[in-house]
Structure 1
Amino acid sequence: MDRPAVAVLFGGRSSEHSISSATAGGVLRAIDRDRYRVIPVGITREGVFVLEDDDPGKFALDAQRLPEVIDNGSRILWPEVGDRTLRVRRADGEIDELGDLDVVLPILHGVHGEDGTIQGFFDTLEIPYAGGGVLDSALCMDKHFMKIVLQAAGVPVAPWVTVSRRRWESDPEGVRADAAALGEPMFVKPARAGSSVGVSKVHDASEFAGAMDLAFAEDDKVLIESAIVGREVEVAILEGRRTDGPRASLPGEIVLTTREFYDFEGKYLGGDGADVVCPADMSDAEIAAVQELGVRAFEAVGGRGLARVDFFLTADGLYVNELNTMPGFTPISMFPKCWIASGLTYPELIAELIDTALERVA
């Protein structure tokens, strides 16, 4: 039987371009070449689709030099509706056929990738793809609407206020009053960004304006949230195969020592002060509660493919912080580590996402 052709899609136009590229390095290194024919497709920071080298080492995560997709002059020519032939126009203008495309594995983070836009693009072209769909991707990318949907489904979330750039510029004192009602400390974050980009922990009023400016540099809509005191616990969710429902991994935990919160440096650049522990040291009852609420949250947003659900475990119970429909997927990220602790290898996890997408089409 011919191996399904998988386009591994990475890079993109968001501020998380390098993290997506680093994820590609891990995926390209681990994907089972005996099962799949791999076509690496990069998206430059300007939004150009290029045929990339099939070299995992090119996209290794290095804190001194984050990887990125560079325009090499090639251009991917996506199939038209009813056709599955993927083509590339080389830098010299010659057009080559890359064969029939079976499925896309988009490992894109942030806007223009994790927000439903690339999913809608492939839906329009009728090209199968792994991971979240248009609705769940868009909902979970926008933390404001994600919270509204979760709250409506009875899933506990942290109290918050959403502020537009226009309101912050026209009514800063009103915004400060709304924020003060949430108590201190608080978190200020862009509504539509990931990897903790633009996020600040605000301890008092003197830090507030700077935090708002940092968040507005990423988005024109900002969330101000009460800081929940509790353990930071995360669970990985996979869509059910065939007639099965979604399933949850063993939970993991972010253990902070000297770091205020799990920021970009702690996640990706090897910064001290935060450890990723999986499985978390939890009772059977706590594990079951996290898994059950993780699946409920996934189903509430119409989840498809995968998600990582982030919680605060407090003395009063569980609060869902957010869902990520394309969570960090490097071999050292929480999502793969939770599934590895639950019995899946990293290559098997990649295969699970691809095969689920192929089954959905069938």
Structure 2
Amino acid sequence: MSGDPKLERIAKGNALALCATGTWTASFAPVLERMVADAEKLAGSSQSIFIDVSEVTKLDTFGAWLIERLRRSLTQDAVEAQIAGLSANYSSLVDEVRRVRATPVVDSSAVTITGMLEQIGRAVAGVAGTVAGLVDMLGAVLAAGFRVLIHPRSFRLTSTVHHMEQVCWRAVPIIVLITFLIGCIIAQQGIFHFRRFGADIFVVDMLGVLVLREIGVLLVAIMVAGRSGSAYTAELGSMKMREEIDALRTMGFDPIEVLVLPRMLALVLALPILAFLGAMAALYGGGLVAWLYGGVDPEAFLLRLRDAISIDHFIVGIVKAPVMAAVIGIVACVEGLAVQGSAESLGQHTTASVVKGIFFVIVMDGVFAIFFASIGM
């Protein structure tokens, strides 16, 4: 057929010319690959090499890539192969292929000081960007809350109650179960080690202070970050992928006020309730183990617990809850609104939401511990 691709060799002295004719497109890929592979062996000692493409009738990206590959293969130290007869219709295509192929390939396996510094710089910039995004979201939520205070009728009570049910009431069984088991484990381990010193009863002191001040609210916050934080990110990310958030903006609604504020408010209200229920479940589990395993009867347990703890321990724990809830909600919403139009992006941001949420919860717990220690609580 007249349109079939060909690559003819014409040698004149020390000059080598390769004449390409016909259709150089992906539909003839096997034939073109074979011809180019054979031609790449022809450089020899030629002092000038030309690839004549004036008779090429059709050329696509695949054909342009093969011609550029052939030119690079035939180029030697002192001789550079040239492409001749390229029509104006195809010159931009060949130039683009040449530009892309000229991009240097970075060896990812090579570890250099410059590369390490670059990675550190990118990591620091990423942390700074994350903090900036969280602060920006906090400001947007506060502004939306202020607008709702000015115009109370714009407050979405139904949405808030719905999210309150999802975050709080439906989470009660798993929260109570896990904190109950944690209380049992703490009490068992405490009795096991205190028994060596004949101080079994002091497990009540340890359990009460530890659960009310730290473990109760921290454990509940981590579970909420994994359960509700990931759900928030997935919901907002799915809406972002389906362009529902853009549709809200087009209709004149503020996505922060419509979507983020009810979720944030529900989380801030729910976490103190869950933290209280979790602490009570942990104390009950610890008391049960102290009775069955340590021989501390319930009456002695309650009397010792009353003497060991004060209202300050409860306040220290419960004050952390709304702050941790706000951090979890902000992180989840920021990650959800950052989702791009792919399932991979949704998965990455959902994972990042859980990891960052747990990280910031632990950081906030440390900050609170230092603060309360400094004021003597």
* Higher normalized helix content (fraction of residues): 2
Q: TM-score range by the shorter chain?
A: under 0.3
TM-score by length of 1: 0.19
Greater strand share, structure number: 1
